[in-house]
Amino acid sequence: MIETIRKLVETYGPSGSESQIRDVIMEAIGSLADEVSIDAMGSIIARKRSGEPDAARIMLSAHMDEIGVMVTHIDEDGFLRFTGIGGLYPNTLPGNRVLFADGTIGTIGVEAEVTPTIAPKLEQLFIDVSNGKDHGIKVGDAAGLCRGLEVRGDRLIAKSMDDRIGCAIQIEVMRNLKKCPHDVAFVFSVQEEIGLRGAQTAAYAVDPHLAIAIDVTHTGDTPKGHKMAVALGKGPAIKIKDGRMLASPDVIALMEKAAQAAGIPYQREVLIQGSTDAAAMQLVRAGVRAGCLSIPCRYVHTTSETVDLNDVQNAVKLLVKLLESPVEF
């Protein structure tokens, strides 16, 4: 699974520019689904059929896009000014590198007059792509953060764990799911980081009876961290509430039951700020029973998003157990 994760996290794919990561995922799912389509927004919908005429439709969603930057202005010396794609923390950016679609790597610099001990504003930063000649980058071009996967025992560190780890989990669930009494749509959504946009339209098309997002969540296990009862390595977290949704009680109960049946540890998640595809899926059409299985992650939206492989593998087990079992609601 590590090599799948490496390929996913190291691939370019800021929101709205998902074609490269979509190709990687399409190759990884290969013939694991009975039917695969790409919708008008660019999300992948991979379906596994039960063969039963009245089977319940279950939608899983992990977003394939990542946070990034978009060029807003280029000065006469070729330095780029940029805006954020999704939630960037300007204090984490100076000295980091970004990757453009054509493979160009830029360095993020800070205006010299900014006091080094004070966090810069986004508009005080620029990207240096100088190569001694015209670099060919245009206004409107998007870049993602740039950093390879680091494996430190069971801890995996990379940019874009949010939410390529969710994509890796879905692929692994597809590999492990042998028989299933439901029709399952595995969605790899686009544009989550700028407003849960791909999952919203995909959920309309799938029209699920039940929807579960798979995404990262914050932890409370670092020095002076928030008082949050989620830690790395203590199991996947079943979302109760986040900044935009209350998970449907039926879905919470179903996931807790699946965790117990699979014999895996799990945590209960109350996240103060931020949300996932689940919030969008819940409000499609006349409303959908929706929840989220979260992977605890330190340093979300930085180049060093850190997860624990045990939580990842246990999330796979929980989802396989849930999908194999009859669902009543």
Between 6 and 63, name the residue whose CB sits nearer to Zn ion: 63
Helix-then-strand count for the chain, H and E? 7, 17
Q: Please, how many CA atoms are within 13 Å of residue 193, restricted to the half-sphere of its CB?
A: 26
The rounded distance, in Å, linking the Cα atoms of 21 and 43 is 11
Residue nearest to Zn ion (CB): 163
Interface with Co ion, residue 66, by CB under 5 A: no
CA distances from 205 to 39, 44, 57 (A): 9, 12, 11
**242 touching Zn ion, by CB under 5 A:** no
CB of residue 235 vs Co ion: minimum separation in angstroms? Answer: 21
Half-sphere exposure of 11 (CA within 13 A, CB side): 24
Q: What residues from 152 to 171 belong to the interface with Co ion (CB under 5 A)?
A: 162
CA 208 to chain centre: 20
Size of the site for Co ion (CB under 5 A): 1
Judged by beta carbon distances under 5 to 8 A according to partner kind, the member of Co ion, Zn ion, none in contact with residue 215 is Zn ion
Catalytic residue among 18, 172, 192, 269: 192
Residue nearest to Co ion (CB): 162
- Specify the residue, 213 or 323, whose C-beta has the smaller distance to Co ion: 213
Residue 192 a catalytic site member: yes
Q: Is 277 in the site for Co ion (CB under 5 A)?
A: no
Q: Which tokens hold the place of 132?
A: 């001694």
Quickly list DSSP for 135-202: ----TT-EEEE----EEETTEEEETTHHHHHHHHHHHHHHHH----SSEEEEEEES-GGGTSHHHHHH
Distance CA 56, CA 209 (A): 6
Q: Is 163 an interacting residue with respect to Zn ion (CB under 5 A)?
A: yes
Least separation in angstroms between residue 183's CB and Co ion is: 28
Our CB check for Zn ion shows the closer of 58 and 62 to be: 62
**Rg of the Cα atoms in the chain:** 20
Sole window of 1-9, 93-101, 170-178, 214-222 interacting with Zn ion (rule: CB under 5 A): 214-222
Pick 162 or 183: Cβ nearer Zn ion: 162
Give the residues lining the site for Zn ion (CB under 5 A).
162-163, 215
Q: Which residues are catalytic?
A: 192
Give the residues lining the site for Co ion (CB under 5 A).
162
